[in-house]
Chains A and B, each alone.
Chain A
């Protein structure tokens, strides 16, 4: 089953043509990596999946994106509901200037879950799923700004899974982190894929091979090649893919 299907997607910012005829299917409960050099459009692509690009003036798109068979850019679609289903973890950890507990509880509260016991339970569960519980359980009321970068990023993941999305988008989640924190996040991704469909943008090709089942290679706003990760890396069909993964540019 495919959770997301993208058909002939073209994205423009004012006059700039950022994404060209992108077609991709993203299967359920797997990790899909998006790789490619800086400026290839992979971040723009991932942000169209939860309509975060709507915030940017001059954004315009053609083509269709289906989530569970429903076009997400239909006028009848509630962006807020969509983002609840499609969570996102950003490049730079961006916790709110609130306590650790309140950060995770935030999404629950905005979605109307106010029962104290339920909130506490879900916060604990989410922090456990994000492999952060042991490190923060004694300081839940402390500010999230006091955590290390890696802890902050896992907190952001906990915050995202607390509202039980179907899809988690990760936009280079490890690019601001040290190797040890990166390993922790990767372990976490392995654990999460059982329950969630994960799409991850990464500039680190080793990371793509480590975490993902499928990979798509973006170049100049197009998908050059996509398919099973080992196939794409071991026997790429396109010359440009081969050049990129062997480090000839990028």
Chain B
């Protein structure tokens, strides 16, 4: 063992330096990536870029239809996944006792979380697009993304519902409320900030995903009006712009928009979590 030949004091000093270096390196990596993309992207981003249609398949013009497509698929995924995820979390924490079914449900959520996004993509194509006949549309895309957001929402909701003190439930049940009244009026409001964070994180996963919707939303560069219209969400647009070498500037712009969205989401969820923790501590 190397450390045998070095005094404990020296190895402590060496390792402390190594640990600090690794922490700082991680921060530098992030700064380089984000900094570079924002620096290049901000040259392109202005109101016109955000609010105009692409011209000449994206060589010129803006990304308005992509923003709308992204909003569509993200909202659909949230609307579908949130009730399923929160419902499942409520069932597991409030209605079930430990048993095989519970283990199976947890394993199911874990498995769902680990399936590669491209496999979701294939499933979306064969199930939503072809089998259910929804075609290449923002609806198909949103539904595929809902499946991917589900485990995130479920997991975060479960943790925050679990953290609601037992005394709240007892207090409500002792007043003669039914179980559902207790859940609906006491438990869920108490867990609301955590659940909201879970839903935001789930939708964050949806808004940044491209591989899963590669074969589900189509790639239309027009603004989708109905949910059955095809679209091209931002990450997909970036992928196409970059790999087909259409326009580097507009690719930077799109990437910067995505990075800004991620930064906003991180700030919002952190504020929510902090406020939630303060509230729980305050009691």
Check if A80 sits within 8 Å of B9, measured CB to CB: yes
Task: Report the bound CA distance from A110 to B8 in whole Å.
Answer: 7
Task: Report the bound CA distance from A78 to B8 in whole Å.
Answer: 12
Check if B8 sits within 8 Å of A80, measured CB to CB: yes
Check if B9 sits within 8 Å of A112, measured CB to CB: no
Check if A78 sits within 8 Å of B9, measured CB to CB: yes
Give chain B residues whose Cβ lies under 8 Å from the Cβ of A114. Answer: 4
Q: Which of A64-95 contact B (CB under 8 A)?
A: 78, 80
Task: Report the bound CA distance from A112 to B9 in whole Å.
Answer: 11
Interface string of B1-34 (1 = CB under 8 A from A): 0001001110000000000000000000000000
Interface size class of B (residues with CB under 8 A): under 10
CB proximity of A51 to chain B, nearest CB, Å: 16
CB proximity of B177 to chain A, nearest CB, Å: 39
Task: Report the bound CA distance from A153 to B60 in whole Å.
Answer: 75
Task: Report the bound CA distance from A111 to B7 in whole Å.
Answer: 9
CB proximity of A183 to chain B, nearest CB, Å: 38
Interface string of A107-123 (1 = CB under 8 A from B): 00011101000000000
Main secondary structure of the interface of A (DSSP, over half): loop
CB proximity of B4 to chain A, nearest CB, Å: 6
Interface size class of A (residues with CB under 8 A): under 10
Task: Report the bound CA distance from A112 to B3 in whole Å.
Answer: 10
Give chain B residues whose Cβ lies under 8 Å from the Cβ of A80. Answer: 8-9
- With both beta carbons as reference points, the residue of chain A lying nearest to B1 in the complex is identified as A114
- With both beta carbons as reference points, the residue of chain B lying nearest to A109 in the complex is identified as B4
Task: Report the bound CA distance from A141 to B8 in whole Å.
Answer: 26
Give chain B residues whose Cβ lies under 8 Å from the Cβ of A112. Answer: 4, 7-8
- With both beta carbons as reference points, the residue of chain A lying nearest to B7 in the complex is identified as A112
- With both beta carbons as reference points, the residue of chain B lying nearest to A112 in the complex is identified as B8
Interface string of A220-232 (1 = CB under 8 A from B): 0000000000000
Task: Report the bound CA distance from A248 to B4 in whole Å.
Answer: 57
CB proximity of A111 to chain B, nearest CB, Å: 8
Give chain A residues whose Cβ lies under 8 Å from the Cβ of B7. Answer: 112
CB proximity of B43 to chain A, nearest CB, Å: 44
Interface string of A98-110 (1 = CB under 8 A from B): 0000000000001
Give chain B residues whose Cβ lies under 8 Å from the Cβ of A111. Answer: 8
Give chain A residues whose Cβ lies under 8 Å from the Cβ of B4. Answer: 112, 114
CB proximity of B191 to chain A, nearest CB, Å: 30
- With both beta carbons as reference points, the residue of chain A lying nearest to B12 in the complex is identified as A80
Task: Report the bound CA distance from A114 to B7 in whole Å.
Answer: 13
CB proximity of A130 to chain B, nearest CB, Å: 25
- With both beta carbons as reference points, the residue of chain B lying nearest to A78 in the complex is identified as B9
CB proximity of A122 to chain B, nearest CB, Å: 18
- With both beta carbons as reference points, the residue of chain B lying nearest to A81 in the complex is identified as B9
Task: Report the bound CA distance from A112 to B7 in whole Å.
Answer: 8
CB proximity of A54 to chain B, nearest CB, Å: 15
Task: Report the bound CA distance from A220 to B150 in whole Å.
Answer: 54
Give chain A residues whose Cβ lies under 8 Å from the Cβ of B8. Answer: 80, 110-112
CB proximity of A110 to chain B, nearest CB, Å: 7
CB proximity of B10 to chain A, nearest CB, Å: 12
CB proximity of B7 to chain A, nearest CB, Å: 8
Q: Which residues of A contact B (CB under 8 A)?
A: 78, 80, 110-112, 114
* Interface CB pairs A-B, < 8 A, 9: A78-B9, A80-B8, A80-B9, A110-B8, A111-B8, A112-B4, A112-B7, A112-B8, A114-B4
5 smallest beta-carbon distances between A and B, as pairs: A114-B4, A110-B8, A112-B8, A80-B8, A80-B9
6 additional A-B pairs beyond A80-B8, A80-B9, A114-B4, beta carbons within 8 Å, are A78-B9, A110-B8, A111-B8, A112-B4, A112-B7, A112-B8
